[in-house]
Every structure is written in C-alpha cells, then in structure tokens.
Structure 1
C-alpha cells in the first residue's frame, strides 16, 4: 500500500542559509497576509471569498510590484496561497477557526516547498534544498520512497527542522492470532486484557517544577529584553523536552502493540468531556490518550491490523468479566481491586476493564 509518510530531521544551516530561511519565512508570511486581506475585503463587499485559483493568478502580478519576492523560492510562495485556501476550506467545514494574520513575532515559523525537477535531494549527510543549496542534517535514518514536499520549520527553541513528505510503499505485517483489549488510565498508562501493564513517563509532572520556575522568571523580566529572550528560550526548551519524551514513549508503545497483535480493542473515550474534571485534567493532558489512539489508528491501517472501539458509556470497570454482574461501588476511582458479589471473582480494576473492552468488541 502506498502511503504518504513524513521523515523529520534536524538541520544545521550556516549563517547565510539561516538568513535566507528567515527571508523565506517573511515572504511567505507577507503573501499569506496579503491574500487573506483581499479575501476578507471580497467577502465584506460581495458575500463571497476568493478561490485558490483567483489568488494564485494574482501572485505573478504581486511579484512584479514587489521585486524582493522574486529572490525567494516561488514554489514556497504558491504553497502559502494553497495553505490559505486550505485553511478556509477547513473553516467552512467547521474543523478550525477562521484564518488569522501571521506575525513575525510568533516563535514558530515555517514554509513548505514541493519537489520539482530534483530540487530536493539527499546527498550524503546533506540535504539539497531550493535557494539554500546543501544543508547539513542529522541523518538518523534514510528517507524512503519518492519525495513529495519539504517543510522547513524554526521551533521556539531556535532549532531548525525539516519534514520530508514521501510516497512510501508500506507492507502489512505477518498475520497474528492475538487479540487484546486495552484500558487506558492514569495510574498505569495502559493495561491489557492479558495483564500486561505499561507505566507512562509522566513527562510534564517530571518537569513541572522546573517549568514553573522559569515561567516565573520570564514573567518578571522586561518583554523584548535580552534576559527576557533567554528565559523565553529556556521555557521553550523545557516544553520541547516534555513533548519529545511523550512522543518517544507513545511511538514505542503503539508500534510494539501493533507488531504483536492482530486485533486491538480500546474504549472510545470522550476526552473533551473528561477534561471538564479540574482535578484530573492536568494528568489526562499529560497522558495524551488522543495522540496514542491516533497513532494506533494509522499504524493499524498501514500494517494490516484491526483497531476496534468499545462504546464510550459501557460500564467496563464496574462489570465482572466472568459473570457480567455490575457493581456500582467500583465507579469510585479509588477502588483498584474488588470482589464480585455474584461469583466471588477478585478483579484488578484496569485488567478487568480491558477484558470487558475485548468482550464488547467481539460480540
């Protein structure tokens, strides 16, 4: 099966290349804001916005009046117009809010260019990129398949990264006879119906005190000053470390489960509703269940596995998986082990829930 897969690397541009990258950010930002302003004016005057084609045909005229737009990657400018059109498409589908004007003060900047006539290529330990030439990068693995596009991004930490989107042939994994249910929780990140437990790293909790310390220092410093910028970068580095720890754990676990099991059953959690609990919201966000389910979903599709979801409101924790008796007292989260009043079976809360999730998806 052919899929689009992104390969993310850190790049190390020299001073001249950094200047060109920043220039590219500025030009793409200008084009985006220019056509967003035109779109808003057209909508206010006629009740209709502009299509991608209407904006794209005006781009050459805009480059004639602004000579400095001609020195940057033309495909990146077209991609900025495409990004604006896609933003409005998602807005009208109620998938996100209306596009807003971009600012150079935002700590994260990016632009996208597409593969054309070999303008993007991997040459040894360097990447060949339009208008940049050869850029050193951390070649942690070989990008596979055919390169479609590249997105260069400057993080809030000041580091530069590139995401290569490639068309890759993905082969299904060998069939397996194993089917498991998984209960996601806070005491343990995940417990399977076979009794296997996975503790999550609690990345945010590990760095919470250090993050709070630097956020207090940042709040006391004068905005725009040198010490303010240092503290801001420090806060960004802590957030970056938290995200890296969390993503590493989620990818390792989701890949392990996909490789070992043919069918995986999980509970269809309403995470947005669960976040209304102010006592648990921080821990739920730290666990990042939504991202874990997203990874399981696309990896199951890629590698020929089956992902099933149990009903959100099924009493999986309260029901005895042996006889089906429901004990309302188990609804209290502090009850970790309980005994069924009907069949006297002793259950671990999370393992019992995982077994019920598996039974619900089999039926």
Structure 2
C-alpha cells in the first residue's frame, strides 16, 4: 500500500492538476516573450552587449532572489547566444566584474567603498537605487542609462 496516495483526496489531486496547468501556461508565455524579444534584438542590431551576470551567486543574496529566478536571465542569455550565432551577429559579454553601474560614463570615475550604489541605493549619500550621482564631476544620471553608456564603450 502506498501511503502518499492514500492521504490525497480528489479535490487535492484536481487542484494540483489545475496549478500545474496554470504554471505551464505562464512558462509558455515567458518563453514566447523571450523568443520574440531576442529575435527582435538580433534582427535590429549587429552587435549586442550584455553583462555576464553570475545569477547563481546573485540568488544567494536573498535580496532579489525570487525576482531573479522568475526573470529567466539564464534562458535569455542562452537564447540570445544561439540566435546571434545562428544569424551571424556579434554578442559581447561584459565581464561580471566590469563596473558598469559604478563607473561614471562622463568622466570615468569608479565608485568604491561606501560610495558604491547597492540595491537599496547609497545610504551614505542618500541616493536612490535608480539614481547615479558622480562624486567626481557632479553629473546626475539614471543608473540604467549610465550602465548602458558604459556597456556601449566596450564595443
């Protein structure tokens, strides 16, 4: 006699099947979006630069681990890599140690120590997570736009 099946009622089995169907639908939608987005990138650009993030290490921090797991970075990179190879486009991977979010795209100053921006912003200088303020030249930029400008310098 199998004890596991003996305790599972009909409603439990039906609900589990429904949840599995719903999770599969969500996964199919996510895969479809990534497929369409990567093909749009490959068709639009000859060179694509992305950061080579160590997602496993980032998931260990517990700050944004659930969001990172759901974002499917690994699948996105894998899909983009094979499509770039397939269509003869160049994919440039920025080293995970490259300070794209900590480097000023205007003067090149790299933040270190207490000046660094974290997921919570910078508590020492009272800046937000999405804000980049260079303490060398005084420029104020959106953090993502600053990172993109730094990644474009790699090309």
What is the TM-score when the length of structure 1 is the normalising length?
0.37
Matches within 5 A, 1:178-327: 222-223=7-8, 225-327=9-111
Secondary structure of the 1:344 match is coil
Superimposed CA distance per residue, residues 186-212 of structure 1 (whole angstroms, 9 cap, x where no aligned partner): xxxxxxxxxxxxxxxxxxxxxxxxxxx
CA distance in 2, matches of 1:257, 1:274: 25
Give the deviation of 1:255 after TM superposition.
1.0
CA distance in 1, matches of 2:148, 2:72: 19
What is the TM-score when the length of structure 2 is the normalising length?
0.82
Question: Equivalent residue for 1:338?
Answer: 132
Give the deviation of 1:350 after TM superposition.
1.1
Q: Which segments of 5 or more consecutive residues in structure 2 lack a partner in the other structure?
A: 1-5, 122-128
Higher relative contact order (CA 8 A, sep 6+): 2
Q: Which segments of 5 or more consecutive residues in structure 1 lack a partner in the other structure?
A: 1-220
Question: What RMSD in Å do the two structures reach over aligned CA positions?
Answer: 1.7
Give the deviation of 1:226 after TM superposition.
2.8
CA distance in 1, matches of 2:17, 2:28: 16
Superimposed CA distance per residue, residues 36-69 of structure 1 (whole angstroms, 9 cap, x where no aligned partner): xxxxxxxxxxxxxxxxxxxxxxxxxxxxxxxxxx
CA contact (8 A) 1:222 1:228 kept: no
Question: Equivalent residue for 2:148?
Answer: 354
Give the deviation of 1:341 after TM superposition.
2.4
CA distance in 1, matches of 2:55, 2:131: 24
CA contact (8 A) 1:330 1:338 kept: no
Superimposed CA distance per residue, residues 223-254 of structure 1 (whole angstroms, 9 cap, x where no aligned partner): 2x432321121110121122022112211211
Matches within 5 A, 1:14-25: none
More strand by proportion, 1 or 2? 1
Give the deviation of 1:296 after TM superposition.
0.5
Runs of 4 or more off by more than 6 Å in structure 1?
none
CA distance in 1, matches of 2:96, 2:110: 16
CA distance in 2, matches of 1:339, 1:279: 23
Superimposed CA distance per residue, residues 64-108 of structure 1 (whole angstroms, 9 cap, x where no aligned partner): xxxxxxxxxxxxxxxxxxxxxxxxxxxxxxxxxxxxxxxxxxxxx
